[in-house]
Amino acid sequence: MALIVQKFGGSSVADAKRIQNVASIIAETYRAGNDVVVVVSAQGDTTDDLIAKAYEINKRPAAREMDQLLTAGEQISISLLAMAVEGFGLPVISLLGWQAGFHTNSVYGAARIKNIKTNRLRAEISKHNIVIVAGFQGINRYDDLTTLGRGGSDTSAVAIAAQLHADKCQIFTDVEGVYTADPRKVKNALKLSEITYDEMLELATLGAQVLNNRSVEMAKKYSVKLEVLSSLTKSSGTIVKEKINMEKMLIRGVTKDTDVALISVVGLDDNPGVAFKIFSVLAQKNINVDIILQSVGRDGTKDLTFTVSKDNGVVAIETLGNLSVLENTKITCTTGVAKVSIVGAGMESHPGTASTMFEALYAQNINIKMISTSEIKISVIIDAEEADRAVAAVHNAFLPND
């Protein structure tokens, strides 16, 4: 008998029919003789809708109250799904994050799991109950509810799989697996049968929406083998694991991320310590900086450009505006940009990868504003309006439709 963790995203439980469909997948797994722990997200756009409701009432809602609100989304989906499973005549119980033992730190809206006290989970499993757990949530040491950040229920599922040493962690979504590009936008995108944790981590971080990046990080750390598959079709999905048999593919994916704000500081004194002062105040505000570009100094001044996520743009500008070393500089923030990236472990040993990418962009007359590279990825910042065209062109350059 195996222990299987199954996670279903918001689109998989969007309405009554989809919930029945998910219940039938769970029932089939259970009837095959497995123990089943299920993690679910809020239905459809529930979380977005709740956020919109909050901002209608208060432009700066307290983070604690936001978590108090958002955890309600998953409470709805677990209870409804449990009712559907019950309809199949199977023993089932739904648990909120805290009931399933999820203890987190106190960073509301972006809490980290500290530990999972698994006694309740184990007790229910030993009674052969199907356990349905609310993803994305936990409780802190003040007994207040917390959430793990958008897309956090993937992480909840992987954490349970790691903690209970599950035999399998299946992530069900509305696409059939991990693709070389968004299959809704790029017609000749290919489904990958396997991908490494490292490649998946880059893809998830760079904008592929199929898995949350923290869940991949955790899967790698605890060697949880993931399977990404569709709840709507029966086809096999993508396995995410440490090592794979490299197919002859230089590039494993092309991604787009539009959650980018570009901040420029023009006319900085060309002195030591300036970059330190800028990035240390941003770090104090918990602002994550991505690509950084500094111009060569001339006439005693230099310019610095960097990217942050869109929701950090305003705070970053405010913070830098108060910095005395920046008194005589011009600080601007642009949001009409996107990051397009290619990922693949093969590029490390393959010269010419960057030039192939840049040539594809040039052929489309797309201007590159910034470039950043690591061993297994190349990212460019371009105009947001050109991003879809860029993804298609770059994808076609590496994975031609033949």
Which residues of the shown chain bind ligand ASP in the complex (CB under 6 A)? 10, 41-42, 47, 73, 135-136, 150-153
Which entry of Mg ion, ligand ASP, none binds 152, CB below 5 to 8 A by partner kind? Answer: ligand ASP
Among residues 71 and 353, whose Cβ is nearest to ligand ASP? 71
Minimum gap (Å) between residue 48 Cβ and Mg ion:
8
DSSP annotation string for 135-178: TTEEE-TTS-EEE--TTTHHHHHHHHHHHTT-SEEEEEESSSS-
Can you tell me which of 29, 34, 41, 140 binds Mg ion, judged by CB under 5 A? 41
Minimum gap (Å) between residue 224 Cβ and ligand ASP:
17
| Inter-residue contact 270 to 297 (CB < 8 Å) | yes
Among residues 74 and 124, whose Cβ is nearest to ligand ASP? 74
| Inter-residue contact 281 to 323 (CB < 8 Å) | yes
How many other CB atoms are there within 10 angstroms of residue 16's CB atom?
11
Angle at 166 between CA 122 and CA 120, to 5 degrees: 15
Angle at 16 between CA 214 and CA 211, to 5 degrees: 15
Minimum gap (Å) between residue 151 Cβ and ligand ASP:
5
- The CA distance from 241 to 63, in Å, is 35
| Inter-residue contact 192 to 210 (CB < 8 Å) | no
Instruction: Give the residue at shortest CB distance from Mg ion.
Output: 10
Among residues 147 and 329, whose Cβ is nearest to ligand ASP? 147
Among residues 153 and 238, whose Cβ is nearest to ligand ASP? 153
Q: Does 135 bind Mg ion (CB under 5 A)?
A: no
Which entry of ligand ASP, Mg ion, none binds 344, CB below 5 to 8 A by partner kind? Answer: none
Site string for Mg ion, 47-86 (x = CB under 5 A): x---------------------------------------
- The CA distance from 316 to 263, in Å, is 8
Among residues 151 and 344, whose Cβ is nearest to ligand ASP? 151
Burial class (CB within 10 angstroms; exposed 0-12, middle 13-18, buried 19+) of 329 = buried
Q: Which residues bind Mg ion (CB under 5 A)?
A: 10, 41, 47
